[in-house]
Chain A
Amino acid sequence: MATGQSMSEKIFSRKADRRVSPGEYLMLDVDVALGNDITAPVAINEFRKAGGKNLRYPDRVVLVPDHFAPNKDIKSAQQVKLVRDFANEQGVKHFFEVGRMGIEHVILPEMGIVKSGDLVVGADSHTCTYGALGAFATGVGSTDLAGVYLTGKAWFKVPSAIQVRLTGKFRKGVAGKDLVLYLIHILGVDGANYRAMEFTGPGVANVSMDSRFTVSNMAIEAGGKAGLFPVDDITIAYEAERGIKVEPFAADEDVAWERSIDIDLSDVPPMVAYPFLPSNGKSAAEAEKEKVKIDQVVIGSCTNGRIEDLRVAAEILKGKKVAPSVRCIIFPGSQKIYRQAVEEGLASIFVDAECAFSTPTCGPCLGGHMGILAEDEVALSTTNRNFVGRMGHLKSKVYLAGPAVAAHSAITGYITDIREGA
């Protein structure tokens, strides 16, 4: 009988200070509690209604106004002000203002605010992104966040886990987004509901840190509570750059996985998810045959707004122009990535190609601002959701892809596979 523990079980066991098993309910201190300009105001109100005066652990609270910031209208400005005033009043040092801000799930790992082995809750469903670092990180709502403000604690049910065993290497031009769309196509949008996904196997070593962030980010699109990668040499090097020393950490060999899925990375094609679910995946080659005309391309977000993503897009857009019928919006995930894009000459490539190059914001992804779609318009986006009306008009459509497919498509004006040698 398998007696080993998954990474999730190990992290919960460490926090509970005893060996725990899937299905157990635990009340635990969390290392980081994240809120944004949509979810934090609700949490702050609840905290006050419950009689809260001071945050239990102000240094574990992170507030990132990134959804409607830079403020898109007066109401958003009021919401951000509420969060800002609260941060000032409570001495929250991890509050990030426009100009110092980035997309929450990009900056928390980048700045070393979350690290391997941490237990993190965030009032944003894509908090699962930090699983890429080997943290147990999961999305919650505002009331849970208010509970952490009051007590430092949240309640958890230790999840059972689905193993995704990776072998092989990506083909050229294929990366994390293609892998995760391929996986969600297999699992369905609720295939991992209530469960953690854990990535194992020799192929993990061939998945870059930026690709891991993309994959873990979209664990929630299969309903996953978390999506964890082992802490290996790649993670250790990433953390070392931030002055954080971590030890290798992985699931045991003999875990009683609820389900195991084997993926040879060389089998993963460039992928496109059709409206209106992230699980509606097809290969980009298949999509190209249908000549799906697009009005807008969006490259960026907490899913694909990292430097590797921008480099891939720039390599393809270099010396080219976006098709006259297409609006191409590129938005980096953080100030650091923005600066890198400028220093490496990527920003010039984007501007020369006639793309809009934006400051970091979640705006376009959720139809907030900076790229809303009109009736019957079609977008190809590197963001994470293609639900009905996600990016604007109820009768608009969003297709999802990685930055390579998105950049090629921006040039041709219709959904286009990656090209040989590109």
Chain B
Amino acid sequence: MSNTTMKRKGSCFVFGDNVNTDEIIPARYLSTSDPAELALYCMEDARSGFGRRDDLSGSIMIAGENFGCGSSREHAPISIKASGIGCVIAKSFARIFLRNSFNIGLPIIELPEADQFGEGDEVEIDFDRGLVRNLTKNKEFTFNPYPEFLKKVIDYGGWLSYAKAELMKEGA
């Protein structure tokens, strides 16, 4: 694991400002914590049927300010990750959602220029260099590259798996 070059490439699905966790995964689906089932209802109240599309795998989710505001439910980033979406790019993220995303290994990027991406735009992300390329619009944006440990957390699929494999191994 790790030291792999971390990249994502896919087409965009665009959402607006203040998308909250009730829209990402409505409470009526929270009587399960099975990721595959949660994936089916991903973004259900923002765009009905979204989680059941068959073209989500590897795609990029784009959003505005304060993405993921509301509940602490980890089911929200879990449903996005389990739907196959490769990365979420937003102008800003709500605090708990940001923390949960890293903890479960969902790559997210805060990018003030997130409004320069349109539905269906082809995007390429190079996490090592901190680059986002909008191939459709031929534009390039930079972000602070993830620290090595966060890339590893995502490689391992989440904070606890990483902690178990890397931190406990060191005998720290």
Contact = CB atoms under 8 A, between A and B. Distances in A.
Tell whether A pairs with B: yes
Interface of A: 38-39, 41-42, 45-46, 49-51, 67-68, 72-73, 75-76, 79, 122-125, 127, 139-144, 146-147, 150, 189-190, 193-194, 220, 223, 225, 277, 366-368, 385, 387-390, 394
Contacts of A124: 71-72
A193 B31 contact: no
Interface string B147-167: 000000000001111011000
B23 to A, nearest CB: 6
A389 B160 contact: no
B26 interface: yes
A225 B99 CA distance: 12
Given A42-B75, A73-B31, A75-B31, A389 B163 contact: no
A193 B99 CA distance: 12
A38 B30 contact: yes
Residue of A45, A46, A51 ringed by the most chain B CB atoms within 10 A: A46
Contacts of A143: 74, 100, 103-104, 158-160
Contacts of B74: 39, 42, 123, 141-143
A194 B23 contact: no
10 contacts: A42-B74, A68-B31, A140-B72, A141-B73, A142-B74, A143-B103, A143-B104, A147-B159, A190-B66, A387-B20
Contacts of B26: 367, 389
A24 to B, nearest CB: 16
Nearest to A143: B103
Contacts of B95: 193-194, 223, 225
Contacts of B103: 141, 143-144
B163 A147 contact: yes
A83 to B, nearest CB: 11
Contacts of B65: 190
Interface string B93-108: 0111001100110000
Interface in B64-91: 65-66, 69-75, 77-78
B92 interface: yes
Contact of A367 (B28, B66, B100): B28
A125 B45 contact: no
Contact of B73 (A38, A190, A277): A38
B33 interface: yes
A139 B100 CA distance: 11
Interface of B: 18, 20, 22-23, 26-28, 30-33, 45-46, 48, 65-66, 69-75, 77-78, 92, 94-96, 99-100, 103-104, 158-161, 163-164
B46 to A, nearest CB: 8
A209 to B, nearest CB: 24
Contacts of B45: 388-389, 394
Nearest to B48: A394
A51 B65 CA distance: 38
B90 to A, nearest CB: 11
B146 to A, nearest CB: 15
Nearest to A367: B27
A167 to B, nearest CB: 29
Contacts of A50: 160-161, 163-164
A368 B164 CA distance: 35
Contact of A49 (B23, B94, B160): B160
A388 B23 contact: yes
A225 B92 CA distance: 15
Contact of B22 (A51, A127, A387): A387
A76 B29 CA distance: 11
B66 A387 contact: no
Contacts of A123: 72, 74
B32 to A, nearest CB: 6
Contacts of B27: 38, 67, 366-368, 390
A75 B94 contact: no
Given A42-B74, A123-B72, A385-B22, 7 more contacts: A39-B73, A147-B159, A193-B94, A223-B95, A388-B23, A388-B45, A390-B22
Contact of B66 (A41, A73, A223): A223
A399 B22 CA distance: 16
Contacts of B164: 50-51
A119 to B, nearest CB: 16
B92 A190 contact: yes
Contacts of B18: 189-190, 277
Nearest to A80: B31
Contacts of A139: 72, 96
